[in-house]
Amino acid sequence: MADWIEIKAHDGGAFQAYVERPANRSGPVVICIQEIFGVNHAMRDIARHWADQGYIAVAPDLFWRQEPGVDITDKSEEEWKKAFSLFQGFDLENGIEDLKSTIDYARTMDGATGKVGTVGFCLGGKLAYLLACRSDADCNVSYYGVGIEELLGEASAIKAPLVMHIAEEDGFVPKEAQMKIKAGLDAVEQVSIYNYPGMDHAFARIGGTPYDEANANLANSRSLAAFQKTLA
């Protein structure tokens, strides 16, 4: 069953989060961190996917400080322009704080076990990496996160498992950046990096142009295995 909840922000105000629950309405929580298109149909489908796996799925609206309720696609030039404008105007530090507030809230939700994982895509993939560095989430999963190569100095703070899915032909994460990420995280015991040859950015977004079912299913199975191990 889908619902929207309200979460208090660290600096005043509140933001909405989309929630999908498993059939028994209880379990660990997986926080689904949006791309640059807001909590749109694709993100709501991702939340439904994790609910189907037995998790309470929570997708917070991270663009609320700019425009609450953003719900756009990758199907038109106008929407892409708006998405990039929102991305450029996004306050990273406040976004991390909003996600930490979401984690705190998630641990006390009705039916929640207290265990919380995160899974993020694109912008959300970058935020999932930063949550591994800065939060007490029990497990974090990053799909084709952008800009992580600039944040490797924080990697020594990673204490909980971090799974990273890297598309080798990612148009937004060049091969040089991929090499830096792998080199910078190679010695971090808690990090597992999976490469997807021939795949472009957003290969796991159902309905998107780069979507590849076989590789998306493979990546999702690896994410599920990580959550089953850490959130049980």
Catalytic residues: 170, 201
Q: Where are the alpha helices (DSSP H) in the chain?
A: 41-52, 77-88, 92-107, 123-134, 175-185, 213-231
Cα–Cα dist 60/33, whole Å: 7
Cα–Cα dist 68/63, whole Å: 6
Cα–Cα dist 41/217, whole Å: 19
- Beta-carbon contacts of 52 under 8 Å, excluding residues fewer than 6 positions away, are 22
Task: Give strand pairing partners of 195.
Answer: 166
Return the axis-axis angle of helices 92-107 and 123-134, rounded to nearest 10°: 70
Structure tokens at 93: 């530090």
Contact (Cβ atoms closer than 8 angstroms) between residue 110 and residue 3: no
Closest CA relative to residue 18, chosen from 73, 70, 94, 95: 70
